Structure 1
């Protein structure tokens, strides 16, 4: 959420920043609501002061036996009390209108974020690895002979409908090994704290990280009012919801492997083949909570953590800075990491690493106390995939595929697979 004081101080800059996000100018509407809200608060405070003054005078009039004055003052107190209640109700309603409006507006981009309309305007900043040259036509993951028995879309459709999969046997084990490898690397080498969090959350938590109110159709809600998390960003970031931390507690760096659930409402018809875009999937998510002055360096650090997983797996990738038209709602800057998929002959997103500034912290009221003293300040929050496990499975299968439909597996996974090195043509580990 945005700082109303910053909008008051420089409405033109706020509108210019929204324009970079392809959003309409909003400062006039925001400031009109803000002015009406503050005027109503001031009027309520004035009426409250009049009520308090009259209340004191009631006793004095009674004490001196001035019955007429006593009755007049008592009526005035009742009148002012009703006025105050009405004004407070109106002020509260205006405050909620202002909050609701601010909640629908995207974060503003950092100055260095490239302007653009969509993914075509993203800017590549880093590339690692050389895509393998095949002496045969590479297939997509779900077409590989060794994969087909362990990746069952028909049974999943019977169980749950489209965009689900049942993994079994060796394929399921490779999927599990990837998640285990990611977690161990982030904990043992990258210094993140592992967490295990719920996948059902209260509505306030989805509001805190920005999935609500604007993007409710992209997620699933139970009949009991809980929401299924689209990512562990929701739970990990909300650990500090409503909390004021000590400065020496920062930074906090978390990692969690969870099931994630997305309706994919905005991607109808896209990537329907295979398991690239599913309603239910697993992700290893990283979240950092930092002081404001450290968030940009932390963004680069988290990006390297995600890139390092791909490098250890030997998977070629490229990293891009998302343009203003392609960034997520809560981000002020985002790095997308795209892994090479030979079956599609292109790079596809496998991680988005975003710095959100104090945008989420204001929604959550998450602050820290400066060690030197002074008022508590809002923390900065960051999140990123480290990585999407299913998409990583796809990349491992496609990049390691052999002409006979078997798959050579990355060396770092061998210890997680009992020393096995290959997914055979008959879908066993050998």
Structure 2
């Protein structure tokens, strides 16, 4: 575990966790001794009122100390990340490209606009301070239809072709489930929004409610693998570079369709590759140029044992930008959520393994479509798979399909 912590550059303190654990064992032994002594005194026929009261006071005080120690132990232990796959790029090394598809777009005879310029010219995306910051947006007209089309298409594709059960997920969940999934809502560096005077947090990714759905359950052998695809909203305290401060790339709220799988431990590696295959197929269907990369150890989230990111070409960034991620979390989450399965009737249950993979992070795919599929006439080509989900509209912003409207003005 010390090696995994060092490989990630994590500030988790393995030594402190071990020290607190040993201290808690010693204190538990002391409490057991006091409770046993009280029990023996209660059985004694001689007068032991004073000694019994003394043991009772000591046991109450010891139990209180033990509870405080266990709470601190849990808090420090929750910072410990998962193991690290031995074959991934090491800390400080660049990601390793494992797949590529397509080529950067070539625009002949015209200068393409960024999605921000399109937002102004086409009156279709509005970034406002109505929600307390410019990292919230309104989609209007064709962009609103495009968002709904992406959600419906991705959910339908994954569920009908690969048998994932569709879910809609809540926007709020108890912070205990957020912590169990490997996120830290109670630390200063958290990206999670907590609801004031409440035990609830806004969901940062659909992975959390999907993973938590089966918490504290022993699953029958016949149920695995369990494959879910969930739609919902994500809320994050995103921070980023100046180039990401404006636009759709980094937002405080966005829509996402997420795949999540619970499987037997020996199936996790294969399942991880299958999820990556599905992600690549989705982006190939849309016709976007992308590359899949094996992320280095210091760029893994705490739950991930191994993580692939897929990046599409984004002209406004003059580079690639992440649109999906795909993580194998082993039994890191299932142990915390207590999700187990039995191999055979009468055998002891074991923890399942969990994996997650983005089907579509909606705003970043909208960004990619707007910037990569522009045409000289000012329209944007709709990827063919989305056309049936957009009332057969083949081009965004076409005069034939546009309607008169009053311009809206918001500050960026």
Q: TM-score, normalised by structure 2?
A: 0.90
2:42: which partner in 1? 55
1:286 equivalent to 2:251? Answer: no
Question: What is the CA–CA distance in structure 1 between the aligned matches of 2:21 and 2:188, rounded to whole Å?
Answer: 25
Instruction: Answer whether contact 2:243 2:317 (CA < 8 A) is retained.
Output: no
Please say if 1:222 is aligned against 2:195: yes
- Residues in 2 aligned to 1:356 and 1:320: alpha-carbon distance in whole angstroms: 17
Q: Matches of residues 6-405 of structure 1 in structure 2 within 5 Å?
A: 14-23=1-10, 26-58=13-45, 70-71=46-47, 73-117=48-92, 121-135=94-108, 136-144=110-118, 148-153=122-127, 156-158=128-130, 160-212=132-184, 213-214=186-187, 217-225=190-198, 226-264=200-238, 266-267=239-240, 269-371=242-344, 373-405=346-378
Shift of 1:100: 1.1
Q: Distance in 2 between matches of 1:173 and 1:160?
A: 25
What stretches of structure 1 of length at least 5 have no aligned partner?
A: 1-13, 59-69
Q: Which runs of 5+ in 2 are unaligned?
A: 404-412
For residue 247 of structure 1, report the CA deviation from its aligned partner.
2.6
180-189 or 106-115, which deviates more: 106-115
Q: 4+ runs of 1 displaced by more than 6 Å?
A: none
Instruction: Provide the C-alpha distance between the structure 2 equivalents of 1:227 and 1:268, rounded to a whole number of angstroms.
Output: 26
Paired residues in the alignment total: 400
CA separation of 1:419 and 1:167: change in aligned 2, threshold 3 A: same
Q: Could you tell me how far 1:180 is from its partner in structure 2?
A: 0.9
Match of 2:18, SS state, is helix
**Cα distance in structure 1, aligned partners of 2:182 and 2:64:** 27
8 Å contact 2:119–2:125 — kept in the other structure?
Answer: no
Alpha-carbon contact 1:169-1:428 (below 8 Å) kept: no
Say if 1:27 and 1:204 are closer, same or farther in 2 by CA, change over 3 A. Answer: closer
Q: Does the residue aligned with 2:44 lie in a helix, a strand or coil?
A: helix
Alpha-carbon offset, residue 98 of structure 1: 1.5
Aligned counterparts of 2:122 and 2:137: Cα–Cα separation in 1: 12
Structure holding more helix per residue: 1
Structure 1 or 2, whichever has the larger Rg, is 1
Shift of 1:134: 2.0
**Distance change in 2, residues 1:275/1:428 (3 Å):** farther
For residues 282-337 of structure 1, what are the alpha-carbon distances to aligned partners after superposition, in whole Å with 9 as ceiling and x for unaligned?
11111111222211111111111211110111111110011011111221110001
Q: Aligned to 1:175, what secondary structure does the other structure show? A: helix
Structure 1 residues 429 and 356: CA distance shift in structure 2, 3 A:
farther
